[in-house]
Amino acid sequence: MAGRLVIVGAGQAAFALAAKLRMLKDSRPITVLGSEPVLPYQRPPLSKKYLLGEMSFDRLLFRPEAWYAENDVEIRLSTPVEAIDRESRSVKLFDGSEIAYETLALATGATPRRLPSAIGGDLAGVFTVRDKADADRLATELKPGHRLLIIGGGYIGLEAAAVARKLGLDVTLIEMADRILARVAAPQTADAIRAIHAAEGVQIFEKTGLTRLIGDEGRVKAAELSDGRVIDADMVIVGIGVTPNDRLAGDAGLEVQNGIVVDSSGRTSDPAIFAMGDCAVQDWKGQQVRLESVQNAVDQAEAVAAVLAGGSEPYRPKPWFWSDQYDVKLQIAGFNLGYDETVVRPGAREGSLSIWYFHAGDFIAVDAINDAKAYVTGKKLLDMGRPVDRATIADPALDLKTLIA
């Protein structure tokens, strides 16, 4: 039997690694170290159905507590790790104790960026949304009539806006870039999503940054924007991206580049240490990227499990993402990095459409808005590696099913 695997982190990637190893009949001892006081759970519903009160926390758990004992997986909650000692192959916990490992897996995730305290980031009523504790604190504040300011027009900010409007808050969203979703989607996708939020009553101000938050007795009450306006705000949600949790790896001398650098097997610069999920940097067509998605966390972790169980198949990411806003489902297949052309196709029903991305003539990704057929077709084309040209996709008479027949 192989020696102990210690997994640092207790999120999606950590659970997927442990569960896949047991599915592969790997019997090595496994210890999972989680910093939160709760069992591993799904994070995406936190900012949607959980906040809306449509899903209880027990339904978010990957498995009940009994599963861990039944599968000989030791899980330690409220157990943050302070340091890695590569020479002795052990991790040091904050209480001073140590746990030895033969293999170490880092599934440490990422942390939301916060506003500097100098501009009001420490005021009461200012929130980020990443874990259960964040969602629980936020839930007490999301009351009808409250004035919410959202800073950041990425998916986190837009999903928060949709939830808040459903709960009856007055919502203003500001985005410093030229448009919402500037980093992750084409202008056509941004236009469609912006129109959906406008119809729901969200005020969106693009090319608008935050100068400072204004407090009263330690609590936020207003915000001064970069254009000089001052708007009232009872609460603020900050959605300005995340920072990978790579401190442990960096302090231990592993290679880090805005994340923990891994090869196609998930190995770090130390062959006894693996990393996966939001904290890991991997090669994507010659570029080093972090893929921040549930799908990547699961797929990469399961690929690492296969390697630990004796396999040698490299991990080849097949990215897909999703975002739920109101009754709109945005599904994304592929990774649009470096796109130079797009094609917009109307869907079969009102309000549905898809945006197809190309790079140097090659199809690389699709955004499907309430258009499951476009999403499924695009994903299958990418999975099969089947080429499709821009002119074909641009033909409005084309039945997408013929492309994957």
Tell me, yes or no, whether 316 lies in a domain.
no
- Reported as a pLDDT band with limits 50, 70 and 90, residue 377 is very high
301 vs 389 pLDDT, higher one: 301
Q: How far apart are CA 206 and CA 217, in angstroms?
A: 30
pLDDT of residue 405: 79
Does 349 fall in a domain?
yes
Does this model's pTM top 0.85? My answer is yes
The whole-angstrom separation of Cα 270 and Cα 136 is: 38
Identify the DSSP state of 267: B
| Predicted local distance difference test score (pLDDT) of residue 1 | 65
Work out the angle at residue 356's Cα, subtended by the Cα atoms of residues 349 and 195, and round it to the nearest 5 degrees. Answer: 55
313 is a domain residue? no
Residue 184 has pLDDT above 70, yes or no: yes
User: What is the C-alpha separation between 83 and 389, in angstroms, rounded?
Assistant: 51
Domain presence at residue 287: yes
Question: Could you read off the pLDDT of 200-251 as tens digits, one per residue?
Answer: 999 999 999 999 999 999 999 999 999 999 999 999 999 999 999 999 999 9
The answer to whether residues 125 and 26 belong to one domain is no
Indicate whether 90 and 150 sit together in one domain.
no
Question: Is 162 in the same domain as 264?
Answer: no
Q: Phi/psi at 296 (nearest 5 deg)?
A: -65, -40
Strands lying side by side in the sheet with 147-151 = 126-127, 235-238, 147-151, 170-175, 203-206
Domain of residue 124, CATH code: 3.50.50.60
- In this prediction, residue 207 carries a pLDDT of 97
Give domain status of residue 345, yes or no: yes
291 and 339 in a single domain? The answer is no
Give the model confidence (pLDDT) of 78-121 as tens digits.
999 999 999 999 999 999 999 999 999 999 999 999 999 999 99
Last residue of a domain, one of 188, 214, 238: 238
Predicted confidence at residue 308, as pLDDT, reads: 97
Q: Is 123 helix (H, G, I), strand (E, B) or coil?
A: coil
Computed over every residue of the chain, the mean pLDDT equals 95
Q: How many C-alpha atoms does 272 have within 13 Å on its Cβ side?
A: 19
8, amino acid identity: V
Confidence of residue 393 (pLDDT cuts 50, 70, 90): very high
pLDDT class of 352 with cuts at 50, 70, 90: very high
Tell me how far apart the alpha carbons of residues 286 and 19 are, in angstroms, rounded to a whole number. Answer: 31
Look up the domain containing 398 and give its range: 327-403
**Segments in 77-207 forming alpha helices (H):** 132-139, 155-166, 187-199
Report if residue 59 sits inside a domain.
Answer: yes
Q: In this structure, what token pair is assigned to residue 361?
A: 């003539």
- The answer to whether position 181 is within a domain reads yes
Whether 294 shows a pLDDT value over 80: the answer reads yes
Whether 318 is covered by a domain: the verdict is no
Q: Of 19-33, 282-296, 337-351, which has the strongest mean pLDDT?
A: 19-33
Q: Phi then psi for 165, rounded to 5 degrees?
A: -65, -40
Structural domain count, the chain: 3
Distance (Å, whole) CA 52 – CA 49: 5
Q: Which of the listed residues 203, 218, 238 is the one where a domain comes to its end?
A: 238
Q: Are 241 and 152 in contact (CB under 8 A)?
A: yes
In this prediction, residue 60 carries a pLDDT of 96
Domain boundary among 277, 308, 339: 308
